[in-house]
Structure 1
Amino acid sequence: MTRYLLATDSVHTTAAACDYLQGRLTSDDVVRVVGVSECGSRDGHESPSESVATRNAPRSGDAADAVNVATARLAVPDVETAVREGDPLAELRDELDAGDVDELVLGAHHPGAGAEGGLGSTAAGLVGHVEVPCVVLPPVGLE
């Protein structure tokens, strides 16, 4: 049995993760899908004065939609889900600290402030800093 933690904030990341996991999962495996949206994320309303970065930030509903994609696409009996709001790095570290994770699967996203080696800040804060293997999926459209 392998216990996967799938960290996501978008349906695109979840779809890529499901594609990655499909050929690897057995009926004994457990997948915990955690969708995280940052505190104060947009609710879908946009003003013309918003910056591109703000318009492209995860919306609060995106994490819930991302989790729903996983439950629909993954063919294992045990898919656990959670939607959290807060700092993605802190929320995912909490999930990992709780234990019962054999592999972390997450998206790379585009590099931003604090990014290293082409990783977004959340992936960069986890890869090499956690005790489980990490699979970082390429940004959608760059695979």
Structure 2
Amino acid sequence: MTTFLVATASVHTTAAVCDYLNERVTPDDTVLVVSVTEAGMDQRDAGDATNVARTRLVDPAVETITEEGRPSDTVQELVAERGVDEVLIGPRRGDPDAEPGLGGTAADLIVSLDVPVVVVPLPDLE
């Protein structure tokens, strides 16, 4: 039984991670999907981003979490509190205007966590 944590800020990231997980998860696994709203962000985006997982992953059951704060801090806290085995992220915020390469949260999680962090490529958004 594996506990996966999906950290997402967009429906695009969530969809890409769900596609990745579809062939890997079993009904015995746990999937936590978290979206953290930073200051100035629309909270509806966080809800939309987490809800995608409920429709894309049938088994196992998906728990969604929306928080306010700094994404990296929230993810690190959840990893410690929930016994997460693997974290799945996109390389950057999933919007078409984002610069290519790793975003700040992705880079921070890769160097800060002591569990595997899988960076799932995003589809071409143009």
Q: TM-score band, normalised by the shorter chain?
A: 0.7 to 0.9
- Regions of 4+ moved over 3 Å: none
Normalising by structure 2, report the TM-score.
Answer: 0.87
Q: Give the aligned partner of residue 104 of structure 1.
A: 87
Contact 1:30 1:76 in 2 (8 A): no
Q: Give the aligned partner of residue 140 of structure 1.
A: 123
Q: Give the aligned partner of residue 56 of structure 1.
A: none
Q: Deviations over 1:101-125 (max 9, x none)?
A: 0100011116xxxxxxx31000100
Contact 2:16 2:122 in 1 (8 A): no
Structure 1's unaligned 5+ residue stretches are 42-58, 111-117
Contact 1:31 1:79 in 2 (8 A): yes
State, as a whole percentage, how many aligned pairs show the same letter. Answer: 50
Residue 57 of structure 2 aligns with an amino acid whose one-letter code is L
2:62 counterpart (63, 69, 79): 79
Q: Distance in 1 between matches of 2:18 and 2:43?
A: 21
- Measured on the aligned residues, the alpha-carbon RMSD in Å equals 1.7
Q: How many residues align?
A: 119
More helix by share: 2
Normalising by structure 1, report the TM-score.
Answer: 0.77
1:63 counterpart (32, 46, 51): 46
Residue 26 of structure 1 aligns with an amino acid whose one-letter code is T
Q: Give the aligned partner of residue 25 of structure 2.
A: 25
CA displacement at 1:131 relative to structure 2:
1.0
Give the greater-gyration-radius structure (CA).
1
Q: Give the aligned partner of residue 124 of structure 1.
A: 107
Contact 2:31 2:60 in 1 (8 A): no
CA displacement at 1:10 relative to structure 2:
0.5
Q: Distance in 2 between matches of 1:31 and 1:71?
A: 10
